[in-house]
Amino acid sequence: MACETHLTRVWLILVSNEVERVVTKNNAAPLLEIKHLKTHFFTEDGVVRAVDGVDLQVFPGEVVGLVGESGCGKSVTSLSIMQLISAPGKIVAGEITFEGQNLLELSEKEMMKIRGDRISMIFQQPQTSLNPVFQAGDQVAEVFRIHQKLQDEEAWEQAVELFRMVGIPAPERRAKSYPHEMSGGMAQRVMIAMALALRPNLLVADEPTTALDVTIQAQIIQLIQDLRKEVGAAVILITHDLGVVAEMAERVAVMYAGQIVEMTDVISLFDKTFHPYTQGLIGSIPVLGKVKERLEVIPGSVPNLVDLPPGCRFAPRCRARMEYGLDLCTKVEPQLIEYQPGHQVRCWLYQDTEEYKAPLKDRG
Amino acid sequence: MIQYITRRMFMAIPVLFGILLVTFALARLIPGDPCRAILGEKATDAVCERFIHERGLDKPIPVQFGVYLKEIIRGDFGRSIRYSLPVTRLLVERLPTTVELSFAALTLSLIIGIPLGIISAVRHNSWIDVLTMMWANAGVSMPVFWLGLMLAYIFSLVLKDTPFWLPPSGRVSPGISTAAFYDVWGLSVYGQGLGVAILNFLSRLNILNAILSGNWKLLGDSIKHLILPAVALSTIPMALIARMTRSSMLEVLGQDYIRTARAKGLAKRMVILKHAFRNSLLPLVTVIGLSLGSLLGGAVLTETIFGLSGLGRTLYDAITARDYVIVQSFTVVIAIFFVILNLIVDVSYAYLDPRIKLD
Ligand SMILES: Nc1ncnc2c1ncn2[C@@H]1O[C@H](COP(=O)(O)OP(=O)(O)O)[C@@H](O)[C@H]1O
Ligand code: SF4
Ligand SMILES: [Mg+2]
């Protein structure tokens, strides 16, 4: 995972933004609470355990980063929240509580009312995420027609207003253009307009900048930052770029092979990194001023989600396991525990059992 | 858009010229002696010489072509060798049969093929999908003459004296008035002009004529006559359209924008009918255009089985009789259909897909 961001920059961002960050409001009720979510794909090659016991909480108004290598189940998690998993995929266990309601118990009709209104989503490929045969403005206006039953003209005016809000020049004219006539950045602005149209309480942004040029990336991040404050939406920011996380997120969940392996506030994530996988992710960020022979890339590759190894899913790639000579790792799966207040980690380095003594149990 | 259509129409002119040249040449390349084909094997050399001279068949080929072009531009397709009738009149008489049959068959293929294709795609790999595709694969390879004969056998013989009986041949039952709508309206239409020919042509489209003149008896009777041949003729295009709809729908349903449409809270049914179908129409338009083209030109078997003297049947007879004039002109007419259909397909594409540049 070679990130273009420099570790030093990450630190500068963290320090400068510190004041603005909302510290986890442990007293507030979570806006979204995911418990033991499992989403599996029943394919010919076997059951792909794409999401396999994810726990995640999002509090009102905060930005939660969800990071991890490609294929670890980030998109499947977000689509599960939206209940947009289609065959051969199925949510097989868990709870997704949003504003006090378990979304998994809602009918499709009730879920339709929530999608695009109270929870909305933006995607990695803005240009292909817009329908090529309809005008961009029309696709934004559709949100008002669906949820507020507005007439065509009124919905269109609202859409143009949103185009203005997301900073698209000449909004009246631009609303009439088709997706192929737009750049990726502009298309992502349209997607953001569509997602924020009805001031949702939760925005799920699945790699919103990955497909864009670096300069455009910064603009889009800034736009999401500004608008989510204005709208008051919480954001789940999915990315594999720790730089983006440092820039925007208040809390971060690190995902590996369908599970959360570490979750904490963004400062602690960089300052007191516990999980060997997270350490590997941060180690693979280039460091300014130091010319490394090779980036410290995590050796090996993501396990096959069909035949997962017993024990810790990261074990085959884990250096700490070797260093400390832990046998338990390949036998028993560690649990996600609250190792320090507000800092959860899933690793045998920090977790005792009756007959096993964790080597770093008392490190913090 | 209008500019685009006009430009496309001008672009069709060289194509038409090419078609005229090729059909003219092909008709001359057919082996055999036209004179003896028409007048019989026993025609004497003298008789044949006069015959060929009268028809201008002894002139150099380029001159024949020049004469031919000049006449076509005037709207005169010449006289049939075999029937001793102006070809234009033959066209006015026979083309409506084929046009009506083709449109009926196409309508059937569309109203059944498209929904089946959509359902198969949406319920991908379900029993509906499997059955539909088995049926579609059978349909593509179904011999039309066999199906036609079976249909005629079942509906005209087995179901005789039941309300499901359907006539095995012809276009209208004897005794049913087919008075032209303009006569019913009290217009006096006579003469030889192109306008009259068009009115004549329209009045021979029985269903249209029945509706225009409020002749409900004729309407019911024509539809009854049309059902069997239309069903027989529609099998192949219906199967093609169902398969095409399915595959293009399947591709579209996997696109990112479908997920976006669902994510904004649109009902699944609306996503399919609005966002997906509109996109899957693009490749479908070509198939529909081509299907209609081949229906118009290729209904020989169906027309023969159901005793209809339409374009295909007449053309077939003309080929066996070496009636150059008919072969040439009917081929040209069919080719013109194709050119027009192509134009319509292109224009629909430009209308349906904003990504297509109009210049
Ligand atoms: N429709 C599907 N059918 C089978 N497997 C799938 C499907 N969608 C996703 N997966 C699998 O789920 C895993 C997680 O995918 P995804 O959530 O897209 O990863 P990412 O973290 O890169 O967003 C991958 O291993 C992928 O192969
Ligand atoms: S549990 Fe063992 S293998 Fe897994 S991350 Fe911790 S030390 Fe490594
Ligand atoms: Mg993804």
Tokens encoding A314:
């990261």
Does B338 score more than 60 pLDDT? yes
For residue A168 the two structure tokens come to 């698209």
Structural domains in chain B plus CATH codes: 2-73 (no CATH), 87-320 (1.10.3720.10)
pLDDT, chain A, mean: 88
Mutate to test the interface with A, among B126, B257, B279 (most CBs of A within 10 A): B257
Mean pLDDT value across residues A213-226: 90
Which helix (H) or strand (E) segment is B241 a member of?
A: helix B216-253
Which atom belonging to ligand 2 lies closest to the Cα atom of A326? 2
Report the pLDDT value the prediction gives residue A3, as an integer from 0 to 100: 43
Residue A26 pLDDT grade (very low, low, confident, very high; cuts 50, 70, 90): low
Q: How confident is the model at residue B187 (pLDDT cuts 50, 70, 90)?
A: confident
Q: What is the mean pLDDT of residues A69-75?
A: 92
pLDDT for the residue A6 = 60
Q: Which of the residue ranges A103-112, A354-363, B34-43, B319-328 has the most confident prediction, judged by mean pLDDT?
A: A103-112
> B75 falls in which pLDDT band (50, 70, 90)?
confident
Other C-beta atoms closer than 10 Å to the C-beta of A275 total 27
In this prediction, residue A78 carries a pLDDT of 96
Is any Cβ of chain B less than 8 angstroms from the Cβ of A114?
yes
- ipTM value of the model? 0.87
B278 near A CB under 8 A: yes
Return the CA Rg of chain A: 21
Q: Which two tokens stand for residue B269?
A: 């049914």
Confidence band, pLDDT 50/70/90 cuts, at residue B335: confident
Rank A61-65, B7-11, B285-289 by mean pLDDT and report only the highest: A61-65
More confidently predicted of B39 and B244: B244
**Integer Cα distance of A66 and B86 in angstroms:** 80
> With an 8 Å Cβ cutoff, is B262 touching chain A?
yes
Could you give the C-alpha distances from B275 to A123, A163, A334, in angstroms and in order?
18, 22, 45
The number of helix segments (H) and strand segments (E) in chain B equals 17, 0
pLDDT for A287: 58
Q: Which residues line ligand 1 (CB under 6 A)?
A: A 41, 43, 48, 50, 68, 70-76, 88-89, 305
Chain B hits for A191, CB-CB cut-off 8 Å, are: 260
Q: Which chain B residues are Cβ-neighbours of A88 within 8 angstroms? A: none
pLDDT for residue B337 is more than 80: yes
Query: Is residue A52 within 8 Å of residue A313, measured between CB atoms?
Result: no
For ligand 2, which residues put their CB under 6 angstroms from it?
Answer: A 276, 312, 314-315, 318, 320-321, 326, 329, 334, 347-349
Report whether pLDDT(A129) > 50. Answer: yes
Where does the pLDDT of residue B111 fall: very low under 50, low under 70, confident under 90, or very high at 90 and above?
Answer: very high
Strands A89-98 and A32-43: antiparallel
In this prediction, residue A11 has a pLDDT band, given cuts at 50, 70 and 90, of low
pLDDT exceeds 50 at position B318? yes
Q: How large is the angle between the packed helices B87-122 and B311-320, nearest 10 degrees?
A: 120
How much is the average pLDDT of A36-51?
Answer: 94
Could you read off the pLDDT of A262-305 as tens digits, one per residue? Answer: 999 999 999 889 999 999 888 877 655 555 444 556 777 778 88
Name chain A contacts of B355, Cβ cutoff 8 Å: 132, 178, 180
Query: How far, in Å, is the centroid of ligand 2 from the Cα of A263?
Result: 16
The residue that leads in pLDDT, A16 or B102, is: B102
- Distance (Å) of CA A73 to CA A44, A238, A244, A344, B60: 19, 10, 19, 19, 78
Residues 6+ apart with CB under 8 A from A186: A168, A174
* Three-state SS letters, chain A: CCCCCCHHHHHHHHHHHHHHCCCCCCCCCCCEEEEEEEEEEEECCEEEEEEEEEEEEECCCCEEEEECCCCCCHHHHHHHHHCCCCCCEEEEEEEEEECCEEHHHCCHHHHHHHECCCEEEECCCCCCCCCCCCCHHHHHHHHHHHHHCCCHHHHHHHHHHHHHHCCCCCHHHHCCCCHHHCCHHHHHHHHHHHHHCCCCCEEEEECCCCCCCHHHHHHHHHHHHHHHHHHCCEEEEEECCHHHHHHHCCEEEEEECCEEEEEEEHHHHHHCCCCHHHHHHHHCCCCCCCCCCCCCCCCCCCCCCCCCCCCCCCHHHCHHHHHHCCCHHHCCCCCCEEEECCEEECCCCCCCCCCCCCCCCCCC
B355 touches chain A (CB under 8 A): yes
Instruction: Answer whether the bond into residue A299 is a cis peptide, omega within 30°.
Output: no
Residue A347: per-residue pLDDT: 93
Query: Using only C-alpha atoms, what is the Rg of chain B?
Result: 24
pLDDT of residue A112: 95
Residue B219: how many CB atoms within 10 A of its CB? 17
Q: Residue B275: list chain A partners with CB under 8 A.
A: 131, 134
Distance between terminal CA atoms of chain B?
Answer: 10
Give CA–CA dist A350/B82, Å, rounded: 100
Chain B positions touching A194 (Cβ under 8 A) are 260, 264
Mean pLDDT score, B26-55: 74
- Other C-beta atoms within 10 Å of A216: how many? 17
Q: Do A131 and B257 touch (CB under 8 A)?
A: yes
Q: Is the pLDDT of residue A1 over 50?
A: no
- Cross-chain residue pair A142–B264, CB shorter than 8 Å: yes
Give the residue, by CA position, lying nearest to ligand 2 atom 6. Answer: A347
Q: Which comes out higher in pLDDT, residue B353 or B358?
A: B353
Q: Which two tokens stand for residue B294?
A: 């081949």
* Contact (CB, 8 A) for B334 and B314: no
Nearest to A84 among B263, B353, B354 (CB): B263
Q: Which ligand is nearest to the CA of A320?
A: 2
Give CA–CA dist B252/B279, Å, rounded.
7
Q: Angle formed by the axes of helices B216-253 and B144-152, to 10°?
A: 140
Q: Side chain identity at A61, as an amino acid letter? A: G
Q: What's the half-sphere exposure (Cβ side, CA atoms, 13 Å) at B309?
A: 9
